[in-house]
Amino acid sequence: MPSTLFSTPRPMPDRRLPVAGGGAVVALALPVFLVAGWSLKGWVLAAVIWVVVHGLDLVVARMGENTAVRAFALFFKSIGLLVVLFVAVAADRHVALAAVATYALAYTFELGLSLATYFGGSR
């Protein structure tokens, strides 16, 4: 009998919990930076990127279900993120590394919560 885990359509779950979870990871990284004595520039860069990316998501969500707009927004966010991080690497490697690590942890946590809410939802 084939599995229906991936073939059963589900409604789009609410995005507030995963976004709040990712934001909590960014917020909880601040005390780590303070206790470890690391430069706060990396944390600030990660937090700004986090807010801008989710602000763009909010704007795109309010524009409706236009697939072309969503595809362009995804492309724009990805390229913009890479440009900002490359500029940060050119300016200061340690700041860029701290920002990448913080953002990656928050993004991964948000992705995990998103998958859990999607596959844990009703079929």
Query: What pLDDT shows up at residue 7?
Result: 66
Per-residue pLDDT of 73-113, as tens digits, reads 889 889 999 999 999 999 999 999 999 999 999 999 999 99
In one-letter notation, the amino acid at residue 69 is: V
Per-residue pLDDT of 38-76, as tens digits, reads 989 999 999 999 999 999 888 888 887 778 888 888 898
Per-residue pLDDT of 114-123, as tens digits, reads 999 888 866 6
Q: What is the C-alpha to C-alpha distance for residues 58 and 49, in angstroms, rounded to an integer?
A: 14
Give me the residue spans of the domains in the chain. 16-120
